[in-house]
Amino acid sequence: MIDLYSLTLEQLADLLQSWSEPRFRAKQIWAWLYDKRVTSLDAMSNLPKSLRNRLQAETTLGSLTIEAEQTSEDGTVKRLYRLADGQLIESVLMEYDDERRTACISTQAGCAMGCVFCATGQMGFSRHLTSAEIFEQALFFARDLEARGDRLSNVVFMGMGEPFHNYDASLDAVRRLMNDLGIGARHITVSTVGLVPMIRRFAEEGLQVKLAVSLHAATDAERDALLPVNRRYPLSDLIQACRDYVETSGRRMTFEWTLIQGENDTPEQAHALGGLLKGLKCHVNVIPLNPTGGYHGGPSASGRIEAFIAILGEYNVPATVRIRRGIDIAAGCGQLKSDVIKRQKIKVLATESTEDAE
């Protein structure tokens, strides 16, 4: 089956021509896909019934199917999608009081970076997603929002996987978000754990897309323990690449800092971070840890968070606490997948035990 969302307009026209259909039909279908964002091929009412029947038989509207969905008390929606080959990925829709509607999407099934406090990092890497699989996660949320008179306003590449490890597909998805969904570049954020060559490449793209770097520690010894990638790209190389990025792009960048009680929320780490970022056009997003079963640490207490931010202020490094969304539904990346896999294993074991007893 051909996923219509995986085709460019030219590829769609070529497909229709191979079916002996006029090429202008491609623009009609394109409008149904991206302007009207229909959920059914039957809704394409200006197409001949014979063409709609063939589309039904040989194409699909997307390659993702919902395996599980949870809705938080704060309105956050988390989805677990099953891909065509059986892989599972997660996406989250966060709704804010200021009318922002933000989709957090995945770029890989699993992750090879091995960050110790991340549920996705704990499960390992399975494969890269295609640009269509990345894009469709945002498209499906946009489609759902539009159906109730709302719109998707922001997209962050902060779900499962490392976007810069899957650079070409991620950047293609970014361009599709801008061109096909109408999401402004400044409303798209790509996050990386610090792949220095890709940061430098990204700086040359000429995009107004935001860049966020997951930092989490301000000394190599601390960062080596939390993010194994630091052994390859130490802080001196990473921060220089970030400074060069800001100079090349003219954009302010963001550093993500997950605060872990008693580990990286100390005054010593705050002073080290302030010294590291002093003079750099940036902002620090401070995020209390979202606990996972595979990591012993816990989120910082509010007093420690305030003290950490105050110390950064001494270095003129702006920082704010990012509101955690969907805590009651395990909205941190990888957590729903881990829960579903765990339940499936328990079910299999229970079935095997029953069969053995018989």
Instruction: Examine the domain organization and report whether 136 and 212 are in the same domain.
Output: no
Tally of domains in the chain: 3
Confirm whether 115 is a catalytic residue.
Answer: no
Give Dmax over CA atoms of the chain in angstroms: 71
Catalytically annotated residue among 21, 73, 90, 282? 90
Q: Please write the tens of the pLDDT for every residue from 24-46.
A: 999 999 999 999 999 999 999 99
CATH number at residue 219: 3.20.20.70
Distance CA 77, CA 184 (A): 23
Structure tokens at 158: 């902060």
pTM: 0.88
Among the candidates 186, 218, 245, a domain finishes at 186
216 in the same domain as 318: yes
**Whether residue 90 lies in the annotated active site:** yes
| End-to-end alpha carbon distance in the chain | 42
337 belongs to a structural domain: no
Domain identity same for 51 and 88: no
Q: Which residues of the chain, if any, have pLDDT below 50?
A: 331, 342-343, 345-354
**Residues 78-104 pLDDT 10s:** 999 999 999 999 999 999 888 899 999
Last residue of a domain, one of 25, 45, 60: 60
| Catalytic residue (one of 104, 118, 242, 333) | 333
Say if 345 falls within a structural domain.
Answer: no
> 175 and 243: one domain?
no
Which are the contacts of 210, defined by CB distance < 8 A and separation ≥ 6?
Answer: 186, 188, 189, 190, 251, 253, 254
Q: How many CB atoms lie within 10 A of CB 347?
A: 10
Q: Are residues 41 and 119 in the same domain?
A: no
Domain presence at residue 347: no
Region for residue 322 given its phi and psi (left: phi exceeds 0; alpha: psi -120 to 50; beta: otherwise)? beta
Q: Give residue 37's domain range.
A: 2-60
Report if residue 112 sits inside a domain. Answer: yes
Contacts of 186-191 with C-beta under 8 Å, sequence gap 24+, read 186/210, 187/153, 187/154, 187/155, 188/154, 188/155, 188/156, 188/157, 189/154, 189/155, 189/156, 189/157, 189/158, 189/254, 190/157, 190/163, 190/164, 191/156, 191/157, 191/158, 191/163, 191/256
